[in-house]
Amino acid sequence: MGPGNALADATVLVTGASRGIGAATARLLAAEGAHVLVNYRDKAKRADAVVAAIAAKGGTAATVQADITSDADLDRMFGAIASLRVLVLNASGGLERDVDPGYALRLNRDAQVALASKALPLMANGGRIVYVTSHQAHFSATVDTAADELEAYAPVARSKRAGEDALRAMLPEFTARGVDFVTVSGDMIEGTITATLLERAQPGTIAQRREATGGLLTVDQFAAHVADAATADLPTGEVVLAGGPGAWAQV
Ligand SMILES: NC(=O)c1ccc[n+]([C@@H]2O[C@H](COP(=O)([O-])OP(=O)(O)OC[C@H]3O[C@@H](n4cnc5c(N)ncnc54)[C@H](OP(=O)(O)O)[C@@H]3O)[C@@H](O)[C@H]2O)c1
């Protein structure tokens, strides 16, 4: 995707944009002319660096701190946004140390629903919600995606699929507001912290995913799919399988 103006004058919010796929998506959407709100939870310096990189290329962006599992934080964040064209639901987690057993569902399902609900009134003139997920999560409803070396990720995968289902259940509400909903799913992404954590928990995981898929996407390649989904001509409810279905082609 080269620089363009598909999102000129539009405000877009990318959750969890202080690093990884969210940060790369924020940079790509800014190159399309969007004013990008770079949400982060803790890492203010990293979020500032994302905004500075966008500004250095002539784009506009601002950081917006919010722990998306906090209703008060969400209200503060949305209270400062006048209108929104695109909401990219990228922030995710559940593999962190010291989190309680209910955290993955609170973050990957409940917070996503709360974000979408609170964003809708700001998307009065139509817009799009993009939900970012993994193949291990997306396909967990139909196949045992944890049957190989990915057991450590299984609870997170289930919570992310629960988030996808809960958002999908909101489709009539989105449509009534003229808002589209698109899911972008990918297999393990090269060079991410999640991949590193899973490799540490279960050595051999990355090599196994490479073999199963015929090659993993990089952060920039996956982010390009996410950014494209923000403006591409897609029917609401579409699921974009970035890099193809890979290991689950038979499903
Ligand atoms: N990594 C993969 O292999 C892979 C594969 C397929 C799909 N995906 C999907 O791509 C998305 C991004 O993955 P990633 O690997 O780039 O993630 P990541 O490196 O773990 O980054 C997570 C981001 O989410 C933020 N975040 C975490 N908890 C938050 C909270 N409670 N409130 C607000 N922000 C929070 C973090 O902010 P702070 O840094 O400020 O804490 C950070 O910016 C996820 O939806 C993931 O499921 C990833």
Please report, for residues 116, 164, 200, the alpha-carbon distance to residue 188 in angstroms, rounded to integers and kept in the order given. 25, 18, 14
Count structural domains, the chain. Answer: 1
- Residue 95's pLDDT is 85
Percent of the chain with pLDDT over 90: 78
Per-residue pLDDT band at 146 (split at 50, 70, 90):
low
pLDDT higher than threshold 50 for residue 128: yes
Which one of 45, 135, 140, 192 would you pick to mutate in the ligand 1 pocket, going by the greatest count of ligand atoms within 8 A of its CB? Answer: 192
The number of the ligand 1 atom at minimal distance from the alpha carbon of 189 is 3
Per-residue pLDDT band at 147 (split at 50, 70, 90):
low
- Residue 3's pLDDT is 61
In a domain? residue 188? yes
In a domain? residue 248? no
**Residue type present at position 25:** T
How far apart are the CA of 98 and the centre of ligand 1, in A? 17
CATH of the domain at 68: 3.40.50.720
**Least confidently predicted of 2-6, 128-132, 162-166:** 2-6
> Could you read off the pLDDT of 13-53 as tens digits, one per residue?
999 999 999 999 999 999 999 999 999 999 999 999 999 99
Q: Which residues pair with 66 in a beta bridge?
A: none
In a domain? residue 6? no
In a domain? residue 98? yes
- Residue 4's pLDDT is 78
Average pLDDT over residues 225-232: 98
> Could you read off the pLDDT of 195-214 as tens digits, one per residue?
998 898 889 989 988 998 89
How far apart are the CA of 92 and the centre of ligand 1, in A? 4
For ligand 1, atom 48: residue with the closest CA: 134
Range of the domain at 72: 11-241
In a domain? residue 77? yes
> Could you read off the pLDDT of 60-111 as tens digits, one per residue?
999 999 999 999 999 999 999 999 999 999 999 998 888 998 999 999 999 9
In a domain? residue 186? yes
In a domain? residue 246? no
Can you tell me the distance from the alpha carbon of 57 to that of 176, in angstroms, rounded to the nearest whole number? Answer: 37
